[in-house]
Amino acid sequence: MNIGIDVDGVLADIGGYQLKYGSRYFKKHGLRIVDPEGFDIETIFACSHKESSGFWHRYIWKYCLSEPVIPGAAAVLRRLHSEGHRIIIITSRVYTAEKSAMGMLFRTMLLYWLRRNKICYDEIVYCADDSDGSAKFKACIEKNIGIMIDDKPENLSAIADRLQVICYPAAWNRGIIDKRFIRVSGWKEVYKMVRKICG
């Protein structure tokens, strides 16, 4: 089976990173955490887009290059691959879909991070970062994905009508109730669910 894997929130803990480093950064600016379950910096700290950009301008490099992989992810992906599944990373990480020098830089950093963390995969697809999940849905259809593992509610909703989705746990999807999603607690359960789905 072709298994689609998101990166931010599924392979890398962007939520934890934003809370940890955002707290340090915004404390100096007199801002505190307003919504710890927010999806992005603007929501978490109720800050402006300009303030959010200032944070990421300083902290994006550390995140892209040295944030650890979520425990269990690399081992589960190696195991699924060894059992004959194709692992296709489908990401809408910032800039990676752009045909520019910045796009090339961010794709290179992601490939470095995947290699550094021994993430096994067969192919990678870079999608535009849209608000309705349509880019990921299109990529899943084009790549004949059987199961997609994602954390963003918009992506899960866009994909769930056509194929099986596994909802990776995150603060921003905790309150979403949708019978089309299979919820898991972590990577061990991802493996069990994939085995169950595949029979």
The pLDDT score that the predictor gives to residue 189 is 97
Determine the average pLDDT of the residues in 70-87: 97
Q: Where in the chain is the domain with CATH 3.40.50.1000?
A: 2-13+69-198
- Asked whether the predicted pLDDT for residue 130 surpasses 90, the reply is no
Of 199 and 87, the structure prediction assigns the larger pLDDT to: 87
Burial environment of residue 50 by CB neighbours within 10 A (0 to 12, 13 to 18, 19 or more): exposed
What does the alpha-carbon distance between residue 72 and residue 190 come to, in Å, rounded to a whole number?
A: 10
Strand, helix or coil at 29? coil
Beta bridge partners of 126: 91
Confidence of residue 129 (pLDDT cuts 50, 70, 90): confident
Task: Choose which CATH entry (3.60.21.10, 1.20.1730.10, 3.40.50.1000, 1.20.1090.10) describes domain 2-13+69-198.
Answer: 3.40.50.1000
- Which pTM value belongs to this model? 0.95
157-185 as b/e: b if 16+ CB within 10 A:
bbbbeebbbbbbebbbbeeeeeeebbebe
Give the containing element (helix H, strand E) for 115.
helix 101-116
